[in-house]
Amino acid sequence: MRFTVPLLVVALLCLGGGGRVAASTDFNFPAVFNFGDSNSDTGGRVAAGFEAIFPPYGSTFFGGPAGRFCDGRLIIDFLMEAIDMPLLNAYLDSLGTPSFWTGVNFAQAGCSITPAKPTSVSPFSFGLQIKQFFAFKDKVTKLLSKGDMYRKYIPQEDYFSEGLYMFDIGQNDLAGEFYSKTEDQVIASIPTILLEFENGLKKLYDQGARKFWIHNTGPLGCLPQNIALFGKDPSQLDELHCVAKHNRAAKLFNLQLHALCTKLRGEFAGASITYVDIHTIKYSLIANYSLYGFEHATQACCGYGGPPLNYDGNVPCGQTVSLNGKLVTAKGCSDTTEFVNWDGLHYTEAANFHIASQILTGKYSDPPFVDKMPFVIKPRF
């Protein structure tokens, strides 16, 4: 199973032209500002010093750890490449003179939409990411006023109103709650979570943001970590052997998120809001993995313990620990393209490529842009 980026590039070329200048209005933006969790974190958590990640992370594409919780590129990486733009640098990454000219990534692994608690994995909640964005924008404005010295490293002032604002967040709000709450309690918390999200979107809109691209959350119950912890009782699993309650909560979250996007279209004058159904894409991939060239749907590529999940929370991917008096290592698999899941929580580069290619068909979005596509993208698996 092999794949190449040009298929994604062709997809966007078919939308109306090559590159930022000639692209259709749907994709004609000079910069991308991303907010999210580990699904789109391109180095924020590592740059913040919360943890280091070790080989084999990044081995498929970057040659080593690159701040991403994956063996290679994330969905956002493929989307950026498809629209012929540089990969996004993390806001907190100050090494290597990172360029933020075409955007910046505020995503942080482990973060949630709701404010962080003392027990939270990350303090960088959605609200804090929004504050970081405003601090970034303010600093950019001041630097631009000083002349051309910094212009090649930072966005131009009009990029903030013309740029694309991307969001992939909410997974941790739901998954984290299941450790201490019942399914009904988790579901009851969804309106509060989405109210916090809505408030953040309104703050961005009030500051000039007009193009919003919002991913819903995936099938949480199909992550090996959740299956290992909450799926010991077979009666709790669905037809795909995923944890049913997690998937039900994700679906209800997505229904309410979709409704919120519809409501905001009526309130945000002059704005475009695209809702992307990541859940359907991911669930279909797991349900039909062999049709897409994969051999393992819910078994981690990099983990410890062997089939069926190859996941042990005590032995993180790439690390060697003492387990029952014996040193054990969570190693990567020999061929990552055979696996949908990378480390028990995140997807492989191969799966991310598949998901990105499906996003770019336009048929999983509301409003859809499939009518602008002369063909459906078929990854070369």
In Å, what is the CA distance from 83 to each residue of 16, 19, 22, 354?
11, 6, 11, 16
- Does 356 score more than 50 pLDDT? yes
Segment 35-72, tens digit of pLDDT: 999 999 999 999 999 999 999 999 999 999 999 999 99
Question: Hey, where are the domains in the chain?
Answer: 32-281+354-365, 282-353
CATH topology classification for 32-281+354-365: Rossmann fold (3.40.50)
Query: What share of the chain in percent tops pLDDT 90?
Result: 81
Residue 158 burial (10 A CB sphere; 0-12, 13-18, 19+) = exposed
Encode pLDDT of 315-333 as tens digits.
Answer: 999 999 999 899 999 999 9
Question: Which range has the worst mean pLDDT, 64-68, 159-163, 311-315, 377-381?
Answer: 377-381
Residue 86: is the preceding peptide bond cis (ω within 30°)? no
Residue 165 φ/ψ, nearest 5 degrees: -105, 115
pTM: 0.91
Using an 8 Å Cβ cutoff, are 381 and 354 in contact?
A: yes
pLDDT digit string (tens) for 233-265? 999 999 999 999 999 999 999 999 999 999 999
Average per-residue pLDDT for the chain: 90
Active-site residues, by number, are 38, 343, 346
How many residues belong to the chain? 381
